[in-house]
Structure 1
Amino acid sequence: MPDYGHELLFGTFLTPTANDPERVVALAELTESAGLDLATFQDHPYNPDLLDTWTLLSWVAARTERLRVSANVLNLPLRPPAVLARAAASLDLLSGGRFELGLGAGAFWDAIEGMGGGRLSPADSVAALSEAIDILRGAWDTSTRGPLRLRGEHHPVPGMRRGPTPAHDIDIWLGAYKPRMLALTGSKADGWLPTLEYLKSPDRVTANRLLDEAATAAGRDPRQIRRLLNLFQIDFSATDGGFLRGTPEQWVDQLLPLVLDEGFSAFIVGRDDPRIISTFGHEVAPALREAVARERTKATAPTGPTRSTVTLTRRQPGTDHAALPTSLAAGAVQPGDPEYERVRHTYSRQGSPAIVLRPRDAAEVVDAVTYTRARDVPLSVRSGGHGISGRSTNDGGIVLDLSRMNRVEVLDRATRRIRLEPGARWGEVAQALAPAGLAMSSGDYGDVGVGGLATTGGIGYLARRFGLTIDHVVAAEIVLADGTLVRADAEHHPDLFWAIRGAGGNFGVVTALELEAYEVGNVVHAQLAVDATRAAELLHRWGRLAEDAPRELTSFLSLFPARRQNPPVARVTLVYAGDDIEAAERALTPFLEIGPILDQQAQLVPYPAIVAPSRNRHHGQGLDDVHSGLLRHITPEVAASVETMIRSGDVLIVQLRSVGGAVNDVHRDATAYPHRRQNFSLLAATVPDRRARLDKLWSDLYEHLDGMYLSFESDTDPQRLLDAFPEPTLGRLRRLKARYDPDNVFNRNFPIPPATGGTGSS
């Protein structure tokens, strides 16, 4: 059998003994500290001497940081699949994508019956498992509209609401030995999880062949199925005691053929022995990885995610997959791949790219830009996928997805210098900085990626106290259109450093940012729901109060139209950047007079609590017809226009964010964001079939606007460039564009046309 090319995984199979629960948890923690990838646990719910496996999985996930967890394998007859789908997705979300689902058809039927489970024949148990897989996949697929319905013989689902979506595509691994189960594994599962000592009939070679045949018959590439192997009869010794009973070097020599000749790529040791776990993690795993990498290089074996037969028939012209650099091949995702649905869309927009590249570092970004430059296809760069104007997906082109570049570092606590990679989410940044007592203003939603916001502006809950996010950027590493990686700061490429703070998406791919964070601990977070029947009066009062408030207070107001018998509603968020309760109360209290209060709450919380990442799966679910503008003041005329929008029913949300304060302390020419006299950012959004009506209403408001906040505008008409970059900013940007990106490679995020007739630095 061939090497199927998967990245190697190493783990443990631990006994969940109830009489010493802390021991099994300690062994799981040792699994992580030894550098292993995975801890698994047997599941026998009818055995009172064992801990409940699901409870243990949750506990271990909470006690570890990077370790994947799985049952080995879950007993399906006692765990209804509809409930299991919810539980699995929940644990995956809570653990940050560290759960995998090992699943079995059932055994020990007397004990199962004793707990109320039904006895099934071998054929029926396989059929029930097949139905369960369909339920699991269907429940996790929130991109499909409508309830999940399955007319199953064993697990009928009349009408189940889908969701939640897991944090990652959970693998389903089946423990399978006989032809019927092997056929199911090949046709539907992501992995085969047998125990070496039980592989008697059929043997490993025959079992692999049956898996391959079943996968091919189902229209799948056999390489999509990971082969895992539990190992029980093992030990380490100074002398050769037989298979996997010698030195670590002998283990490597004996496991290597299982990878290269039989396609196994995950090895799980089933001994509750700290010595074996530690040696396996520290000595065997890294040595086997090196040996496999060396042999794969010699053999030029295909590695990484494999392409299904569907993919092979859907290749797009112009992308030239065969020329894809090896550094990017393992992380690339194409139509037909299991992960494609997860990475093709953004929050606002749906897309069908020919390929999604997922670099892990700046060198791989260089490879990606170089590869793209040689092809005449659209290039979209994605940080978090929440950009409205950025359009970080496309149809038929290349998406450069930076989500794997997500490190957050405190470089120097004394100077508050931090380093962020563009794929980190702002909620994750807040959580990482909080132990150091630091924070960075970061919008209002924790799932937003660092790269887009920190190169465009960054209006967040701390803006009036500390300014925009770009105002704290002190250096950037950026890959230019010609594939050059440069550092831009006040001394190196200062003109580029000026440009990327406000128009960064037009000049390259930012691979890291250094910023000066600020001291923030707890903040006072208040929310009001207000009857907005008299919306114009409410907005005028709120605007006056927001301008007059101390700088520590930043406020956002979202206005929603009337629905059914309910009036229009305004939801007001107020954040006081400090933990002085009395001062916060004085600043917040006047806002209780802006209109009839329907609900109110306020609390002192750590800053990360108000921007916690939800890690939602993207399938183009957001409003993507949006207009954006900036205002000096909310005048009676502006308030009346906004009230007309909301009363029309054609505009689904109007949001205003207070700026001013520290934002306006920065000189308009200091960055490529020149809007330093306005006090409010305004957006209005609707759905596509009401876009024309929104455009008409917006045109009535337009004369009162003073500029545009780039990130919230979906109309990329070139005429809007002067709203975003009024002269002399636009002229300077065009001259710099001609120097750094004369071919306009980066043309998706409000494209700035390069100047003609020569270049200059400013």
Structure 2
Amino acid sequence: MTAVPTTVPAELEGRIVTPGDSRYRLLRSTYTTVARPAAVLLPETPEQVAAALRYARDRGLPVAVRSGGHGLSGRSSNNGGVVIDLSALNRIEVLDQRARRVRVEAGARWAQVAETLSGYGLAISSGDHGNVGVGGLATAGGVGWLVRRYGLTIDNIRAVDVVLADGTLMHADAEHEPDLFWAVRGAGAGVGIVVAFEIEALELSNVGYAQIVVETDRQGRTLTQWAEVMAEAPRELSSAVMLMPYGKSLAMSITAVVAAESARRVRPVVAPLLELGVKLLDQRSQLAPYPALVPTAHLHPNTGQQPSVTTNGLLTMSGGNARAIMEVANDRRQPLVQLRSMGGAVNDVAPEATAYPHRHQDTLVIASTFPPGDGASLDAAWRPLAGRVDGAYLNFESRPGRRAFDRVYPGATGERVRQLWQRYDPDGVFQPQLNEMGRAATS
């Protein structure tokens, strides 16, 4: 482990946690990875974030940036470098309730955001776990419980404050620094440290919540039916699916969320899902406050407690794709396969409008292996889908690199991302491997 010099800049006094500190054990790792950084820095203001960057760069130490530490790749920590932990930048402010404009700092957790906004009758669709940090999700996408009604989290960002690699603080929106604003929404990890977001929320207090379990066939007909139901459903309905062993077959556990305030509205929207599959195994539904989906009970330290390897792909469901998904789920290596409904408001946005270009698919497929499974076993299980997916989502990919980059940022989007990463971070402070790719592509 690299030793950290004892000289501490005045701005960071008391904000540097090293291995001898009692706080280090709860700050060193991510949810998926046990790490051993030389120091974890805890800035509370954008100016202190800039000081933290200077501290790392002056010492030649690699930098990892953490908003929540729930990222599957484990990149929000490192071994021997500096982690800039944004957890103290966690303020949440309603700027204009009538316009539903809120300001959220990057270190807040989505459970805290939901709890605060509920007092104003507002909500932001923001992933599916309350412990996820705002910054990591809101710079990559944001496939939340209200995704078909609200779109991705990035689709509702109206302005950002970013600390660049040289310590400059910049405000970006559609009119000011539009290139930076474009990159932040989908590829923000490579341009700087976003310290705050202005987001347009949704006026919503309660949601319909249903848990449905059906037995599914092995040929994929049930998955095709699910996609057909979702395609015909009103946008208030979003759903997530988990495929699980059930005797000699598989069960499909469906979590359905309806962005509606009335139970009378929820029942007819959810009803077609009860007709799916070989047979209905279980069902329950209720009307609940939105924060119940991402509750404060989710909040916990991240200590490497869930090692895993994950990959994903976006596709438009068809009979062939559904069969391929079932083949992955039935693989002898037993990967965990999950699906998220897409479409709706997500696909209203033009592919070139943000650095997230995937605006025609209707399904996100995610597969994970857990120890003793590894990346090789996941790749082998994923093979039936590898040639069928036509995009990927950064936050459900454990292994960043050229292959992942080309799936997440295909074609012209990838070229623009590379150029902007090189412009705003020419030394590759935030994404060293991918910035090398950018330099190679543009030289």
Shorter-normalised TM-score: what interval? Answer: over 0.9
Query: 1:740 pairs with 407, 420, 424, which one?
Result: 424
Query: 1:490 pairs with 174, 184, 191, which one?
Result: 174
- Partner residue in 1 for 2:164: 480
Q: Deviations over 1:228-287 (max 9, x none)?
A: xxxxxxxxxxxxxxxxxxxxxxxxxxxxxxxxxxxxxxxxxxxxxxxxxxxxxxxxxxxx
- Partner residue in 1 for 2:345: 662
Query: 1:526 pairs with 210, 226, 241, which one?
Result: 210
- Partner residue in 2 for 1:374: 58
Q: 1:447 to 1:495 in 2, by over 3 A?
A: same
Q: How does 1:457-606 map to 2 (within 5 A)?
A: 457-532=141-216, 534=218, 536-562=220-246, 568-595=250-277, 596-606=279-289
Instruction: Using the TM superposition, give the Cα deviation of residue 529 of structure 1 relative to its aligned residue in structure 2, in angstroms.
Output: 2.2
SS in 1 for 2:6: helix
CA distance in 2, matches of 1:688, 1:337: 30
Instruction: Using the TM superposition, give the Cα deviation of residue 510 of structure 1 relative to its aligned residue in structure 2, in angstroms.
Output: 0.7
SS in 2 for 1:388: coil
Query: 1:348 pairs with 32, 38, 47, which one?
Result: 32
Equivalent residues of 1:505, 1:749 under 8 A apart: no
Q: 1:748 to 1:460 in 2, by over 3 A?
A: farther
CA distance in 2, matches of 1:321, 1:649: 50
CA distance in 2, matches of 1:487, 1:390: 28
State the one-letter code of the partner of 1:552.
E
Task: Give the alignment's Cα RMSD to 1 decimal.
Answer: 1.9
- Partner residue in 2 for 1:87: none
State the one-letter code of the partner of 1:572.
I
The answer to whether 1:338 aligns with 2:17 is no
State the one-letter code of the partner of 1:575.
V
- Partner residue in 2 for 1:610: 293
State the one-letter code of the partner of 1:454.
A
Equivalent residues of 1:442, 1:453 under 8 A apart: yes
Unmatched 5+ stretches in structure 1: 1-315
CA distance in 1, matches of 2:200, 2:306: 32
Instruction: Using the TM superposition, give the Cα deviation of residue 344 of structure 1 relative to its aligned residue in structure 2, in angstroms.
Output: 1.0
Instruction: Using the TM superposition, give the Cα deviation of residue 597 of structure 1 relative to its aligned residue in structure 2, in angstroms.
Output: 2.3
Equivalent residues of 2:30, 2:303 under 8 A apart: yes
CA distance in 1, matches of 2:333, 2:88: 39
The answer to whether 1:411 aligns with 2:95 is yes
Q: Deviations over 1:466-494 (max 9, x none)?
A: 11100111111110011111111112211
Instruction: Using the TM superposition, give the Cα deviation of residue 649 of structure 1 relative to its aligned residue in structure 2, in angstroms.
Output: 4.0
Instruction: Using the TM superposition, give the Cα deviation of residue 359 of structure 1 relative to its aligned residue in structure 2, in angstroms.
Output: 0.7
SS in 2 for 1:630: strand
Higher RCO, 1 vs 2 (CA within 8 Å, ≥6 residues apart): 2
Equivalent residues of 1:490, 1:497 under 8 A apart: yes
Equivalent residues of 1:733, 1:752 under 8 A apart: no
Instruction: Using the TM superposition, give the Cα deviation of residue 390 of structure 1 relative to its aligned residue in structure 2, in angstroms.
Output: 5.5
Q: How does 1:16-27 map to 2 (within 5 A)?
A: none
- Partner residue in 2 for 1:651: 334
Instruction: Using the TM superposition, give the Cα deviation of residue 742 of structure 1 relative to its aligned residue in structure 2, in angstroms.
Output: 0.6
CA distance in 2, matches of 1:479, 1:365: 7
CA distance in 1, matches of 2:310, 2:5: 36
CA distance in 2, matches of 1:403, 1:328: 15
State the one-letter code of the partner of 1:684.
A
Instruction: Using the TM superposition, give the Cα deviation of residue 623 of structure 1 relative to its aligned residue in structure 2, in angstroms.
Output: 4.3
CA distance in 2, matches of 1:601, 1:673: 35
Equivalent residues of 2:401, 2:433 under 8 A apart: no
SS in 1 for 2:373: helix
Q: 1:580 to 1:535 in 2, by over 3 A?
A: farther
Q: 1:712 to 1:320 in 2, by over 3 A?
A: same
What percent identity do the matched residue pairs reach? 45
Instruction: Using the TM superposition, give the Cα deviation of residue 750 of structure 1 relative to its aligned residue in structure 2, in angstroms.
Output: 6.3
Instruction: Using the TM superposition, give the Cα deviation of residue 437 of structure 1 relative to its aligned residue in structure 2, in angstroms.
Output: 0.9
Instruction: Using the TM superposition, give the Cα deviation of residue 573 of structure 1 relative to its aligned residue in structure 2, in angstroms.
Output: 0.5
CA distance in 2, matches of 1:492, 1:454: 19
- Partner residue in 2 for 1:700: 384
TM-score by length of 2: 0.95
Instruction: Using the TM superposition, give the Cα deviation of residue 732 of structure 1 relative to its aligned residue in structure 2, in angstroms.
Output: 1.0
SS in 2 for 1:394: coil
SS in 1 for 2:419: helix
Q: Deviations over 1:51-92 (max 9, x none)?
A: xxxxxxxxxxxxxxxxxxxxxxxxxxxxxxxxxxxxxxxxxx
SS in 2 for 1:409: strand
Q: 1:569 to 1:622 in 2, by over 3 A?
A: farther
CA distance in 2, matches of 1:589, 1:669: 36
- Partner residue in 2 for 1:454: 138
CA distance in 1, matches of 2:224, 2:371: 29
CA distance in 1, matches of 2:346, 2:415: 23
CA distance in 2, matches of 1:568, 1:757: 45
Instruction: Using the TM superposition, give the Cα deviation of residue 699 of structure 1 relative to its aligned residue in structure 2, in angstroms.
Output: 2.4
SS in 2 for 1:728: helix
CA distance in 2, matches of 1:604, 1:493: 42
- Partner residue in 1 for 2:312: 628
CA distance in 2, matches of 1:743, 1:753: 12
Equivalent pairs counted in the alignment come to 440
State the one-letter code of the partner of 1:329.
E
CA distance in 2, matches of 1:482, 1:754: 19
Larger strand share, 1 or 2: 2
SS in 1 for 2:220: helix
The answer to whether 1:679 aligns with 2:367 is no
CA distance in 1, matches of 2:433, 2:124: 24
Equivalent residues of 1:455, 1:500 under 8 A apart: yes
Instruction: Using the TM superposition, give the Cα deviation of residue 388 of structure 1 relative to its aligned residue in structure 2, in angstroms.
Output: 1.2
CA distance in 1, matches of 2:227, 2:307: 25
Indicate the structure (1 or 2) with the bigger Cα radius of gyration.
1
